[in-house]
């Protein structure tokens, strides 16, 4: 009886370790997005390289595509960029950019310097469309299906593991399902 009582602090300690351990693994920035399985919010924006032309999410109906929110001022985007360039070379999924709260000239110069993985980039100067997409930390990435529904959202850097384990299988499945 007495011996069992001595075990109590140990048990309490073990429970705390488990909770703290799980807490360490959780990333508070990864907030579940309410946009998953919802239609991509509508927009029509001028293109980054061709201000006279527009781009709308409607233009992509019937295709599985990726929308990547980026900015020249975003440090993490620079880290992510080579992975997107590599993915775009495979041609598995078309990547479109949303240039978020950026100066047009800066954005264009950034792509010229680091390579352009995007079919084109839409230019969201005041971040209005970003708000509609629930953007709060650039980079953010969306996979949108043929019906224009958001199927996956990544807040933060898309790295090779995520491309391999999440994005590519999803794109394959979405393309197969018509």
Binding site for another protein (CB under 8 A): 28-29, 31-35, 101, 126-127, 131-134, 136-137
Question: Which three-class secondary structure state does DSSP give residue 68?
Answer: strand
Give the span between the Cα atoms of 58 and 64, in whole angstroms. Answer: 12
**Min CB(86)–another protein separation in Å:** 29
**Min CB(134)–another protein separation in Å:** 4
Give the span between the Cα atoms of 130 and 121, in whole angstroms. Answer: 13
Q: Closer CB to another protein, residue 41 or residue 169?
A: 41
Torsions phi, psi of 63, nearest 5? -125, 150
| DSSP assigned state of 42 | P
**Min CB(23)–another protein separation in Å:** 14
Q: Closer CB to another protein, residue 21 or residue 34?
A: 34
Q: Closer CB to another protein, residue 129 or residue 171?
A: 129
Q: Which helix (H) or strand (E) holds 25?
A: helix 2-25
């Amino acid at each position: 009886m007495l011996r069992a009582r001595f075990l109590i602090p140990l048990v309490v300690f073990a429970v705390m370790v488990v909770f703290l351990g799980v807490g360490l693994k959780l990333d508070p920035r990864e907030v579940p997005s309410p946009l998953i399985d919802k239609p991509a919010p509508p927009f029509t924006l001028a293109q980054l390289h061709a201000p006279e032309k527009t781009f709308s999410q409607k233009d992509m109906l019937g295709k599985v595509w990726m929308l990547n929110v980026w900015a020249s001022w975003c440090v993490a985007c620079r880290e992510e960029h080579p992975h997107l360039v590599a993915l775009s070379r495979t041609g598995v999924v078309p990547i479109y950019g949303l240039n978020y709260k950026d100066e047009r000239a800066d954005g264009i110069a950034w792509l010229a310097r680091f390579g352009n993985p995007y079919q084109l980039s839409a230019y969201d100067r005041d971040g209005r469309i970003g708000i509609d997409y629930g953007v709060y930390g650039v980079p953010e990435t969306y996979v949108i299906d043929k019906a224009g529904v958001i199927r996956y959202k990544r807040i933060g850097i898309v790295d090779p593991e995520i491309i391999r384990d999440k994005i590519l299988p999803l794109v394959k499945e979405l393309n197969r399902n018509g």
